[in-house]
Structure 1
């Protein structure tokens, strides 16, 4: 590379750096929102940093899809331009680049012109790594045109590889709901272990209710409490409730976990209508359901949140 070419690449690199810094600190009206910021924002845990969209996402990409892709693609040129200017190995280049991005993200947070987001660090660094890989694959001869074509093709191929890899990582570390489990399958602290098993049909609001999994009631008592051990899992509790048409209009329902109440309703609030609820619980040890009067629960169960590799 002669001196003129080196100067040209230096000017391109400097100009592109200024362009990127403008977008990081001043674009999208960042300066206008500083007065409205109430504190520094630091996000140290990665979350959805580069999901793999399906065909419908590609046809109708969301703003976050475009931002995620842009955060990677915009930093690809650094992986090509910097090695052209200075001889450096991959590890040294990436170490200095990641350090630089960490500094910029920190400055963004402390100046209230943005936030420190580890997702951005991952995306920006991945773009630089793609660029460096494309540079190594493309610039192997003295033929400039050939080098540029091969580098461009390498960028596309490597971006697709990163896109697919990040999608698989996201899928592997994103919790999904497991199968529905009836509540009566859990360990019960109630005196009668068979409670909830009986599934007689009844009507509420003129609709015929046919329970599929379980039915809970006071069983001719004024108040009944059901308790179940949840094992400190992360899960969603689902339940249906109401007062059958043939029963007197009285009763109440309370659901709590480890002493914290999540659902409370009375006969006055219910009426002769079907009620449905889903409740998110994280790390709860014991579930308590208290029924009074003629309120019935049915098809009560849960779906546990699990990683795909932990099923």
Structure 2
């Protein structure tokens, strides 16, 4: 590399760095947001950094799609320019310095209220720099300047596609999805017997006609009824609908516990005839217990299990 070429590359690197810093610290109305003083934001736990927009998303991209893609693509040039300037720098040293620099910029964003510290951004930016470094190593193998540039550009595109596909595969494998709705009365109760007290019938709450699709739980003779089920230590969302029918006096209560921990407690003594809906996330649980008192009716109770791709076949 001649002295003139080095000067040109250094100028490009400095100019591009200033441009990136502008977008990271000043663009998109960041100064206005900082003046409002909404508080510091630090996101240390990465989430969804393996998710990039698909081909269908790029046809009608949203701002989130553009940002996710840009967080990687915009930092590929650093992986090319820095090792081009400093030929002896190794991959590990380059990545260590790059990650440290991004951590500093992200911290400045958060402390100046010009943005947030987001570990997702750090990871995506670093992946972009790594792609650029790999493209440089693949491209700069000859003495022909323009051939090196062409091969490096093509290598960057190919590596980006590979990473794009890999991210999509990893996201698909590790993404959790909700399974089909399972009515609670499809399970067996705590004694191992088929569930009882789940006959369906219609009623009116708050003037709305209710037609339960799966089940109805109630306290026989307006006293107290306890229902117990084994959940099988699964991660799931529980769903409940409850209220007191218009033709009955408003009194009673509802309690939902899992392994002794109360997740839902409702007393309707001071309420009107109102329809209530509730969903509860449950990371793990063995025994579900429902206690109903008075005229409270509970219907279409069930859950959707969260699962990964590798165990969906087993569950079906």
The interval holding the TM-score normalised by the smaller chain is 0.7 to 0.9
Moved more, 136-145 or 7-16: 136-145
Structure 1 residues 140-149 or 3-12, which shifts more? 140-149
For residue 40 of structure 1, what is the aligned residue in structure 2?
A: 40
Is the contact between residue 175 and residue 305 of structure 1 (CA under 8 Å) also seen in structure 2? yes
Residue 17 of structure 1: CA displacement? 1.0
Query: What is the CA deviation profile of residues 268-287 of structure 1, one whole-angstrom value per residue up to 9, with x for unaligned ones?
Result: 6446xx76543333456654
Is 1:256–1:263's contact at 8 Å kept on the other side of the alignment? Answer: no
Structure 2 residue 260 is the aligned partner of structure 1 residue 261: no
Q: Distance in 2 between matches of 1:47 and 1:249?
A: 48
> SS at the partner of 1:256?
strand
| Higher mean C-alpha deviation, range 35-44 or range 20-29 | 35-44
Distance 2:263 2:213 in 1: 28
Deviations 1:59-104 (A, max 9, x none): 1111111011111111111111111111122222212211221222
How far apart are the structure 2 equivalents of 1:67 and 1:165?
A: 19
Q: Which residue of 2 aligns with 1:85?
A: 85
Give 2:291's aligned residue. 290
Is 2:8 aligned against 1:8?
A: yes
Q: Retained in 1: the 8 A contact 2:197–2:216?
A: yes
Partner residue of 1:71? 71
Segment drifting more, 222-231 vs 85-94: 222-231
Using the TM superposition, give the Cα deviation of residue 231 of structure 1 relative to its aligned residue in structure 2, in angstroms. 6.2
The aligned runs of 1:41-56 (5 Å cut-off) are: 41-56=41-56
Q: 1:171, CA displacement in angstroms?
A: 2.7
State the partner residue of 1:203: 202
Show the 5 A alignment for 1:148-163: 148-163=149-164
CA RMSD of aligned residues (A): 3.1
Cα distance in 2 for partners of 1:124, 1:210 equals: 51
Corresponding position of 1:129: 130
Mapping of 1:98-247 within 5 angstroms?
98-184=99-185, 188-189=189-190, 193-196=193-196, 198-199=198-199, 201-205=200-204, 209=211, 211-212=213-214, 214-228=215-229, 230=231, 233-241=234-242
CA distance in 2, matches of 1:242, 1:192: 28
The corresponding residue for 1:96 is 97
| Deviation (angstroms), 1:44 | 1.3
Aligned equivalent of 2:30: 30
Q: Deviations over 1:225-281 (max 9, x none)?
A: 334455665421123446678x7455545243323435555696446xx76543333
How big is the shift at 1:4? 0.7
Residue 151 (structure 1) shift: 1.7
| TM-score normalised by length of structure 2 | 0.82
Query: Which has the higher mean CA deviation after the structures are superposed, 106-115 or 120-129?
Result: 106-115
1:122 match: secondary structure: helix
Once residues 261 and 83 of structure 1 are traced to their aligned partners in structure 2, the CA distance between those partners, rounded to angstroms, is 59
- Name 1:17's counterpart in structure 2: 17
The size of the alignment, in residue pairs, is 305
Deviation string, structure 1 residues 200-235 (Cα, Å, up to 9, x no partner): x422249684644x4322233422233445566542
